[in-house]
Amino acid sequence: MTVITGADELLDSEIYIDLRRLLDCRLYLKCEGFNFAGSVKVRPAAWMVNTAQREGVIGPDSILIESSSGNLGVALAVIAAAKGLRFVCVTDPKCNPSATDLMKALGAEVVVVDEPDATGSYLAARKAHVRERCAQDPRYVWLNQYENPANWVAHYENTAALIAKQFPDLDTLFIGTGTGGTLMGCARYFREHRPGVRIVAVDSVGSVNFSGAPGPRHIPGLGASTPMPLIDPSLVDEVVRGDERDAIRMCRRLAARGVLLGGSSGTVVSAATEWLARHGSADRTAVAIAPDLGERYIDTIYNDAWVARHYHRGAQDLLENQ
Ligand code: PMP
């Protein structure tokens, strides 16, 4: 039994799925969807707020504000509510409606911007709205996950240290890349403590991270429309780029075996299983980080009409492959 008294006490709890039986692949999946607030982002949310409080940036009148595609917003809504702080999340129409509803239920204000750029990304519009509010009212504190070192430090001190403790013989670690917080924290930790561990970054087709060509993406969390400042590619051993169709195929395959994962987890698992098939997995201890679970994607990647609408070419194959 685990007994807690507050929202940030579960940061050391973890659940792994051994995918040997489900996918015939020697891969352990670190399931971050079982965290408080339902995703990996509770770790950077807690670290960014605690660091800002320690540094005196947050006072009793402060209003936290952040741009988020969903998960960080929910995580910050939990942390802010637990600390009695106000929080405004600036998001966009791609954010899952269930995530905005969760934030509102937790007492956050949610703003949805609606001016996409040429690739369909709302990031520039979200950031512009945050800057506008901060310029108008000094009570706003922008945590800025895109540039805040506490984003990656959370994963250095917490996520990576937990994995290292569980897997003394870890060989290869697969990490999805959005802001690069998870990737950079883990890469720095293992570079310093276990340089033999191979760090494989998983990005999506259409993401400009790691000099990729921009293109449309529909699965939130993974990839970026402008290069993410936290990412130092020299700390990464390899980059693999996953197609969103493969991600959805993998999500649906795992769902048919009773494991309901989020879309970016599908990208990471499909890229990792393909990498392991190419490089061999027999003598390797490999771990992949799954950022969240599938409940928040019931109306998107698990919805046939949504899939047919967003992936015209090959959609039939996706729907049949379950
Ligand atoms: N997947 C999901 C579902 C996410 O919410 C995030 C966070 N944006 C990521 C992957 C990527 O994590 P990071 O920002 O640490 O690169």
Residue identified by tokens 């600390």 is 83
* Same domain, yes or no: 137 and 202: no
* Res. 67: pLDDT tops 70: yes
Show the domain range for 168. Answer: 16-36+149-320
Answer yes or no: 41 catalytic: yes
The Cα angle at residue 293 between residues 283 and 184, in degrees rounded to 5:
60
Q: Is residue 5 part of a domain?
A: no
Mutation choice for ligand 1 from 126, 222, 289, 296, CB with most ligand atoms inside 8 A: 222
pLDDT of residue 66: 98
Residue of minimum CA distance from atom 7 in ligand 1:
221
- For residues 153 and 21, membership in a common domain is answered with yes
**Residue 196 falls inside a structural domain:** yes
Q: What's the gap in Å between 190 CA and the centre of ligand 1?
A: 19
pLDDT score for 295: 94
State which ligand 1 atom lies nearest to the alpha carbon of 182. 15
Q: What is the pLDDT of residue 201?
A: 98
CB count in 10 Å sphere of residue 45 = 34
Q: Do residues 222 and 189 lie in contact, with contact meaning Cβ atoms separated by under 8 Å?
A: no
Residue 316 DSSP label: H
Nearest alpha carbon, ligand 1 atom 8: 221
Could you tell me the sign of the dihedral formed by the alpha carbons of 128, 103, 105, 6, in that order?
negative
* Best residue for ligand 1 mutational test, from 40, 94, 147 (most atoms within 8 Å of Cβ): 40
Last residue of a domain, one of 95, 124, 142: 142
Average pLDDT, the chain: 93
The verdict on residue 115 lying in a domain is yes
Rounded to whole angstroms, the Cα distance separating 151 from 83 reads 19
Which CATH number do you get for residue 51?
3.40.50.1100
Residues with CB under 6 A from ligand 1: 39, 41, 71, 176-183, 221-222, 262, 264, 291-292
Number of separate domains in the chain: 2
Q: Has residue 2 been placed in a domain? A: no
Q: What are the backbone angles phi and psi of residue 311, rounded to the nearest 5°? A: -130, 75
- Cβ(264)–Cβ(96) under 8 Å? no
Model confidence band, residue 316 (pLDDT cutoffs 50, 70, 90): low
- H or E segment to which residue 269 belongs: helix 263-279
> What average pLDDT score do residues 193-205 get?
98
CB atoms within 10 A of CB 95: 24
Q: Based on the residue annotation, tell me whether 264 is a catalytic residue of this protein.
A: yes
Catalytic residue among 62, 69, 204, 264: 264
In-domain check, residue 26 = yes
β-strand pairing of 198-204 with 172-176: parallel
Does the predicted interface ipTM exceed a cut of 0.85?
yes
Confidence (pTM): 0.95
